[in-house]
Each structure stands twice: as structure tokens, then as C-alpha cells.
Structure 1
Amino acid sequence: MNKNDLAAILEDSGLSPYQADAYVTVLELGSDSATSIAEASDVPDPRIYDVLRDLEGRGYVETYEQDSLHARAQDPATVFGDLRERADRFEDAAEEIETRWEAPAMDSHTVSFLKQIDTVLDRAEAKIRAATDQIGIAASLDQFERLQPALQAAHERGAYVRLVLHVEEDSGESVPPESLLAETASEVRYRTIPMPFLTLVDRTATCFAPHALSTNRYGIIVEDRTHAYVFHWFFIAGLWESTVPLVEPDETLPRTYVDIRECIRDIGPLIETGAIVAVTIDGIGVESGASVRVEGTVVDVEFPCLEAAEADRPERYLGGQATVVVDTGDRQVTVGGWGAVMEAYEATRIVVEHVEE
């Protein structure tokens, strides 16, 4: 390896060009004056003294006085250590680059922690105004009053809105008029037990804040389908199923469902008796993620938990497999609910068009 190549490698290890040149020159000369080292290298005479002192500070050379400043190379153990450490770092970087290159691409996810609950409500309002398909919301009466115009606008443009209200006992609070609630949401329920604020929008965005009695006063905004799914189950099992109905969906056909389990609960007994149930299902492909529409008749349902459930205990069949099999006329396809993994499609909305006994 020639002098220039060795100097270039030393530059890669962290030395400046002048330091690398001077050090290689010292190695060649063994020991000499600063003036001679400058003459044998490309380091200018005025700079050689600073360069040698910098090299001495790194443990590469030793300087001493002998009529003038002289320098000689130190034991190269320090240099060896620096080079090996740098080599290890390069190797680690190479392995990390390879790992990142081979890893699957990640979708964009956002999680924000907010100290001001008002900011959570502002973000929830913005999400509600942008909703296109469905909204689940648990709110106090004050929070509902603030978000009611946005909820009503979303409901009027076709979003399916499920609303849970918290009404404090013995506080003098009154439930809003049923007419207003019917204009605001597809289904409305209430409870007297304190609950957190929660808004789920289009199965992708979550806005959460603890209830007023909580010791943790913060808010969370999550834009991620997986975490929205976890909050959805908290909404269903922890809030929705323990509430009192105020506004219930119209049972006349066509009837819309955003929960496949509720749909199966209603049409399952009909399918068993041989009824023809015509449906239109909007959803997404489980593998492709593309939007789809399935139209046909339900020929079978798979809901093992339903058989063991009691009619007055709906929480008994919240979990487990829930699948409908739809005959489209040219093929049969399987459709599951939110988080489907076994079926071809995940239903976001099911409309039972008509039923023939």
C-alpha cells in the first residue's frame, strides 16, 4: 500500500488530510524535526506544529524539544484500536442497511400525546368532518354539545354514527331531545357511569382522553388501523354493551349494519329456516386492501359463539369467528368483520336489502 492510499484510509478513520499526511510521514522518518516532517509532507510549515500537537493529543505521536520541536511515532496500539473500532462500526452499519433493506415497508403511522383535552376534541371534530363511512363516539353531554354539528353533518352525508352519552346521576343533566339525537346519529345509547372520551372514525383514526376523574390528564390521537381495532373492542365491550338504548336503528328493510355480529344475530335464524336474504356488502379485500362491493344472497353463516349465547346476554358472543357466505350468482365468497383474516373480504357495511321467507 503506498503512502497516499494509507493516508486516505487514515482520513476515513477520522484524521484530517494534514494529520493523515503528517502521521504517515512520521512513520516513514521514524523521528525528525517538525521542519523536516513538513518538508517531506504536504503540510505547510506554519501548520505543522499545530498538526503534530493534535496528533500527540490523539496518542499517535510524541513531541519533544531538541534544539527545535521534534516528533516520533507512538506505539501504534492506539491507532490499531481506532481503526478496528471504525471497522466494527462500518460492519455494523452494513448489517443494519441490509436488515432495513430486507425488512417489509412500513405504512405511515402517527401517535400523538396531547396535554390539553380541548386539543383532543378539536382533532376529533376535524376527523368527524372528514368521515366517509362510520363513527363510534363516547362523550359527555358537554362534549356532545361541542361535536353535535359535526356529527350531524357526517350523519346526513351517509356516515353510520354510533353514539354513547354519559349522563351524570343526580346532577340535573337531561338527555338531549330524541329528535335531535335522531338527526345526529344512527344509534344512540347512554350510561351514568363515568367513561373516557373516545372517537373512532372510519376504522383508521382514534381520539382518546381519560374521564374527568382519572389521575392521568392527557389525550391520545392514533392514526393506525391496528390500534383503532383495539379501541373498537374497548368501545363495544367496555361501553356500548353496558348502555341503555335511546335511539335504535330502524328495523324495516333495507337495514344497515356496521357490525357483522349484529347482522348474523338477526339473519342467522332466518338462514337456518331456509330464508333467502339478499345483501349488499361494502368492504375491502383482506389481501389486496382494495375497496369492493359484494351483492348476492347469504347462503351460510359461521358464528360458533352464537350457538352458546343467551338472547339477553349479547356480550357472550362478541368474540370469535363471524363469517357470512354470500352467493353472488357466479361464485361464493366469504366475508368477515373488522379485522378479518380467515375470509376473502372485510365488511365495513352490510345492507340487508330484502328477505324471502
Structure 2
Amino acid sequence: MDDEELTSILEDAGLSPYQAEAYVTLLELGTASATDVAESCDVPDPRIYDVLRDLESKDYIETFQQDSLSARARNPDGVLEDLRSRSNKYLDAAETIEDRWNQPEISDHEVSIVKRFDTVLNRARELIGAAENQIQLGVAPAQFYELRPELRDAYERGVNIKLSICTEPDDEIPDVADIAGACTEARHRDIPSPFLVLVDRTWTCFAPHRHSVNEYGVLVNDRSHTYLFHWFFLTCLWEIWDTLHTERTPETPTTYVDLRHAVRDIDPLLQEGASIKATVRGHETDTKAEVELTGYITDVDYTGSSLGQTEPVPLAQLAGRISATLDVDGETYDIGGWGAVLEQIEIDEITVESVEFE
């Protein structure tokens, strides 16, 4: 670094142009009289004494009398600490500017396009950490391990987590021991997939798969848009793929966060005359008040039922309007799934407590 560049940087650090020149000159001369300093730089003679006293007040130099006023540079430890502190502040400011540019403030009902995948991953990590009801995600094995600590915490909080592991030919599928405790159910898709995380039916974090030409991400805070991504998850990442891990056993109550999957299992049982006891958690569609009801499922209705019954019911037959009737001590409630408007209750979760045949 030459004298001119060093002088310019010292000016950025708070010295005046004359002070910076005088200090750089003293670093070269060692000890010198005020007159010699003035002659070796561009500081005018009448100003040199004030300039040196100002530098001394800033602890850059010290002055003393030796025939005439002389000066020498102090031990630079204090100067170096100040410069390094300023450097760190500039670095911090640069990182903050970059982060804020890449991750704009998220407001209600907003779709944001971001430039870096790390921004999408970090936002997904935050949302998983705050999830209350359900998470659906399609990720590569390495991405699963990135999110695994937050997934385990969410699982411990009782969040229902559906995990689709999407692999390439050379990828290793995570061990079941690693998956257990981080999700409610996991499936394996042997085709690369975009990164997708859906949280509490409201948030979407999306990024193209790693072979995409462009790196970008989409952050969505909107129920309607997230519903579209939900159908992509169901049809492309979940429905036809093999199960790696599930908590379901014949002995444990079965919990659903999607009414369509519940109806697909319940409808054949009702046709066989089963008495199905269930607990529904959700909210009233008109008041949005939270409700929890326990009763008996007496009927199900879905648009595709007229197309003919097969085992199991194809997801396409459940794509239209779908509802169920819950009898609670003689009072009936119409319950609907995600986005229900016509029904009394939109469910967040339905748990089949028991199935009995007469």
C-alpha cells in the first residue's frame, strides 16, 4: 500500500487530510521537528503545530521540546485496534446489507423472490422452529440433515411431520434411525425434487432442485398459494412413493392432518357398518374460533364418489369438495378440510380413536 492510499484510508478513519499526511510522514521519519515534518509533506508551515497537537490529542503521536517542537509516532497498538474495530464494523454492515437485500421483510399475504438458496433454507429453519400443527417437506438427504435439529424439536412439540426424501442415483438414503424422531411419516422418492417446506398451511419455502440453471427461491405467506404447493407435494412427492418410516401401528390411534386421507380410510369402514369414534381439532369457518370435538363419524361425502369405488380410492376422486359428518351426543357437525367454506368446521387434525364392528 503506497502513501497516498494509506493517507486516504486514515482519512476514512476520521483524520483530516493534513493530520493523515503528517502522521504518515512521521511514520517514515521516526522522530522529527515540526519544521521537518512540514517540509516533508503538504501541510503548510503555519498549520503544522496545530496539526501535531491534534494528532497528539488523538494518541497517534507524542510531542516534546528539543530546541524546537518535535514529534514522534506513538506505539501503534491503539491505532491498530481502532482501525480493526472500524474494519469489523464495515464488514458487519456489509453482511447486514447483503442479508437484507437477499431476504426482504416478510409481511402478511406476501410472495417474495430471493436470490440465494441459503435464504430459503434459513427461513425454512425458522418456520419449522415455530410450527404449531403440521409440516410437509420434500428435501434431498443433505437438506434433511440440515433441518433435522429443528424437525426433531417440532416433533417433540407434537407437530405432525410428513417427510419426503428425494434422492439422485448416487445419494444415500438416510438411516431409519436418523429419520425416526424427526417426522411422523417418511417416504422415499428416487427422483430429484425441488426443495419444498410447507408449515401450518400458511407458509411455503420453495427452491428449484440443485441442477436448475438459476439459483432463486420463493417464500410465500398465504394460505391460497400454499394450498397449490400442498397439491404438488401430495401428487408428486407423496402419494405413490414407498414408506420409509411411520408411527402408525394397528394399536395406536391414527391422526390425519388432511381430511382427504382420513376419508379414504374411513369410507370403506363406514360401508362395512363400522362405528368410528374420532376427535376433531380445528376452527369454526365463520368465527375462526378454535374447537375440539369428540364424537362419531356417521357419513362422508366427496365429489368423486359418483365415479365408482375402488380400493384404495385414487387421490383424483378426492380432489373436489369433501366433507364428513361428526355426531357429538346427538348434535351433528359438517367438517371440511383445508380451505373449507361451506362446512361448519375446518379441521386442522382428525384422530380416529376407535373402530368397532357390531
TM-score normalized with structure 2 length: 0.66
Report deviation, 1:335: 0.5
Distance apart, 1:240 and its partner CA: 1.2
Corresponding pairs, count = 249
Question: If you compute each CA radius of gyration, which structure gives the higher value, 1 or 2?
Answer: 1
> Are 2:210 and 1:248 aligned?
no
Which residue does 1:144 correspond to in 2? 144
2:318, 2:244 → 1: CA distance? 21
After superposition, the C-alpha distances for 1:286-333 in whole angstroms (9 at most, x for unaligned) are 122221112111111112424635325733334012211000114100
Alpha-carbon deviations, 1:222-255, whole Å to 9, x = none?
1111111111111111221242211134143311
The answer to whether the 8 Å contact 1:309/1:316 transfers is no
Match of 1:335, as an amino acid? I
Q: CA deviation at 1:192?
A: 1.7
> Partners in 1 of 2:239 and 2:291 — Cα distance?
30
Amino acid at match of 1:208: F
Other structure's SS at 1:184 match: coil
Structure 2 contact 123–205 (Cα < 8 Å) conserved: yes
Question: Percent of counterpart pairs with the same letter?
Answer: 41
Paired with 1:148 and 1:235, the residues of 2 have a C-alpha distance of 19
The answer for the alignment partner of 2:161 in structure 1 is: 161
CA distance in structure 2 between the aligned counterparts of 1:108 and 1:181, rounded to whole angstroms: 33
CA distance in structure 2 between the aligned counterparts of 1:198 and 1:154, rounded to whole angstroms: 17
Moved more, 189-198 or 283-292: 283-292
Write the letter of the residue equivalent to 2:139: A
Tell whether 2:234 aligns with 1:236: yes
State the partner residue of 2:256. Answer: 257
Partner residue, 1:317: 317
Bigger mean CA deviation after superposition, 128-137 or 330-339 = 330-339
Distance between the aligned counterparts of 2:121 and 2:238, measured in 1?
Answer: 20
Normalized against structure 1, the TM-score is what?
Answer: 0.66
**Counterpart position of 2:354:** 354
Whether 1:295 and 2:282 are equivalent positions in the alignment is no
Match of 1:216 among 214, 217, 222: 214
Matched residue of 1:287: which SS? coil
Unaligned runs of 5+ in 2: 1-106
Using the TM superposition, give the Cα deviation of residue 115 of structure 1 relative to its aligned residue in structure 2, in angstroms: 0.5
Kindly report the root-mean-square deviation, in angstroms, between the aligned alpha carbons of the 2 structures: 1.7
Q: Secondary structure at the match of 2:153?
A: helix
Taking the aligned partners of 1:256 and 1:296, their CA distance within structure 2 comes to 15
State how far apart, in whole Å, the 1-side matches of 2:243 and 2:132 are.
25
1:266 and 2:278 matched: no
DSSP 3-state at the match of 2:180:
helix
Q: Does 1:125 align with 2:119?
A: no
Asked whether the equivalents of residues 182 and 247 of structure 1 are also in contact (C-alpha less than 8 Å), the reply is yes
| Deviations, residues 185-204 of structure 1 (Å, cap 9, x unaligned) | 11101112111001000111
Query: How much has 1:108 moved relative to structure 2?
Result: 3.1
Aligned to 1:187: 185
Kept in 1: contact 2:264–2:312 (CA 8 A)? no
| C-alpha distance in structure 1 between counterparts of 2:265 and 2:315, whole Å | 15
Partner of 1:342: 342
Unaligned runs of 5+ in 1: 1-106
SS of corresponding position for 2:218: strand
